[in-house]
Structure 1
Amino acid sequence: MLRFAANLSMMYTEHAFLERFAAAAADGFQAVEFLFPYEHAPAELVARLREHGLTQALFNLPPGDWAAGERGMAALPGREEEFAASVRQGLAYAQALGCKRVHAMAGLVPEGVDRQQLRAVYVANLRQAAAELAPHGITLLIEPINTRDMPGYFLNRQQQAHDIVAEVGAPNLKVQMDLYHCQIMEGDLATRLRHHLPQVGHVQIAGVPERHEPDAGEVNYPYLFALMDQLGYDGFVGCEYRPRAGSSVGLGWLRAATAAAGGQP
């Protein structure tokens, strides 16, 4: 049975961030994810998780200067020491929160830099980061992101990500498969799930094309949920979408999905 995690960076934004944990738990979620935890002390976040019986499913390593437009640095030449420091900071938070998955953003392709050079830096950084996280039982994730929402991002397609995972060769490096991004870039989601799911460490969902709830748009999510169950996917499914109205009122799709599976979110 699939396990859904509310993405607190996009959902429940009608509440202050630290109040979103309670709102997600009240709606029946047993897990949460978000982009970045670093504005809050680990103890603040741990207290919310424990109070509401929530599992921290995922968060991102520090991405560089997000406000200035940076979107990660794992593939950027000259940023290796900064990336290594971001891994150490992310590890400290992951240990405190009991989180077993962290996502390393690759970064935007700098003008005039050869993509093969970026790939070499990316592979070396991921290999080192995975080795540092492995003794703690933490899986490192990389995510292909569509070029419409994030122009210039280094990693865009599923096979590209899986080829990099194979080259790194670390058992605790996997792909974060966001079906919203995948549909925009490639489509054929069922076939890609059948082919890639064994090396996927986390799945995310949103309606396409508006990135609202997964109950409208061009993707048949009930079919894909049943397929993931059939294929034995046992990770979390992150609900990384922007609700059309209030977060709670838009959860009819979740109630239908969990009722069909005979369980809880």
Structure 2
Amino acid sequence: MLKFSANLSLLFTEVPLIERFKLAKQYGFTAVEIQFPYCINANLLRDVMEDNDLQLVLFNVDADDLLQGGEGLACVPGKRQQFQRAVDIASHYADILKPTAINVLPGRCSEPAHYLTYVDTFKDNLLFATQAFTVLGIQTVFEAINTIDMPGFIISNGEHMLSILNALKQPTLLMQYDIYHLHKMGEDVNRFISAYADKIGHIQFADCPGRGQPGTGNINFEGVFTTISTSTYKGWVGAEYNPVGTTAKSLHWLTHL
């Protein structure tokens, strides 16, 4: 039986973030994830989750200007101290909210000549974050993002994520596997999940190409969900899509499983 979490940064945006927890519970979710929770006090978030009997399974380390088109934070050589401060803030939230995992977004390199330096910086920063979160008993994950939506993103396929895992060799460091992004890059997501489920700490999904709910694109989600459920993966599967129509009407995939 798959365990689905609602990404409250994209779902239920018809209401303010603090009100989305109640809706997630109302529509059958027992767990949620938030991209960046830092606009709300951590203690308030904990209280709202407790009031709605929800578990927070994932959030991201701050990524600076990444979503505004910038290079982000974790891979930029000149931002190491800023990244470490962001990890400290994430650790504070994690100590209160007790997530299963924290995601570190690698970021972009705007100048291809500096690509290898950016990758090395990301590895160093990822190791720093992993060690900090391990002390709290929390897994660290990182993800590949397609270079169509985010040109210059330094990690864009599963094999590259595997190479970083093999280089760092940290038992609490795993991949965050985003079905939308990797399908858009032409990856066989069923094959990869089946082969490397033990190295995946979190899965997210949206249909492709529009990043809407299942049924709005060309991904066979019946097959994908079967692949996940029959693999060795036992973690959460995050609904991280932009609803076509209202969030409530977009949840037909959940009620028809």
TM-score (norm 2): 0.96
Deviations 1:213-234 (A, max 9, x none): 1123211111111111111311
SS at structure 1 position matched to 2:174: strand
Mapped contact 2:197–2:232 kept (Cα < 8 A): no
- Residue 154 of structure 1, CA deviation: 1.2
CA distance in 1, matches of 2:176, 2:223: 20
Asked if 1:250 corresponds to 2:220, the answer is: no
Tell me the equivalent position of 2:159.
Answer: 159
- Residue 116 of structure 1, CA deviation: 1.6
Mapped contact 1:12–1:20 kept (Cα < 8 A): yes
| Structure 2 gap segments, 5+ residues each | none
Mapped contact 2:213–2:242 kept (Cα < 8 A): yes
- Residue 100 of structure 1, CA deviation: 2.1
1:99-138 equivalence runs, <5 A:
99-111=99-111, 113-138=113-138
1:73-222 equivalence runs, <5 A:
73-111=73-111, 113-222=113-222
- Residue 69 of structure 1, CA deviation: 3.1
For these two proteins, the number of residue pairs brought into alignment is 257
Code of the residue aligned with 1:8 in structure 2: it is: L
Code of the residue aligned with 1:224 in structure 2: it is: V
- Residue 198 of structure 1, CA deviation: 1.2
| Structure 1 gap segments, 5+ residues each | 258-265
Asked if 1:235 corresponds to 2:235, the answer is: yes
CA distance in 1, matches of 2:77, 2:113: 9
Code of the residue aligned with 1:4 in structure 2: it is: F
- Residue 187 of structure 1, CA deviation: 2.9
CA distance in 2, matches of 1:153, 1:161: 13
Code of the residue aligned with 1:15 in structure 2: it is: V
CA distance in 1, matches of 2:25, 2:205: 19
Deviations 1:84-142 (A, max 9, x none): 11111101111111112111111210326422211211111111211111121111111
Tell me the equivalent position of 1:69.
Answer: 69
Tell me the equivalent position of 1:6.
Answer: 6
Give RMSD over aligned pairs. 1.4
Code of the residue aligned with 1:138 in structure 2: it is: I
Mapped contact 1:94–1:100 kept (Cα < 8 A): no
Mapped contact 1:157–1:186 kept (Cα < 8 A): no
Code of the residue aligned with 2:221 in structure 1: it is: Y
- Residue 66 of structure 1, CA deviation: 5.0
SS at structure 2 position matched to 1:4: strand
1:30-69 equivalence runs, <5 A:
30-65=30-65, 68-69=68-69
TM-score (norm 1): 0.93
SS at structure 2 position matched to 1:237: strand
Deviations 1:136-187 (A, max 9, x none): 1111111000112111211111110111111011111111000000100023
Runs of 4+ aligned residues of structure 1 deviating over 6 Å after TM superposition are none
Mapped contact 1:61–1:86 kept (Cα < 8 A): yes
Mapped contact 1:71–1:106 kept (Cα < 8 A): no
- Residues 70 and 233 (structure 1 numbering): CA distance in 2 closer, same or farther, change over 3 Å? same
Mapped contact 2:12–2:23 kept (Cα < 8 A): yes
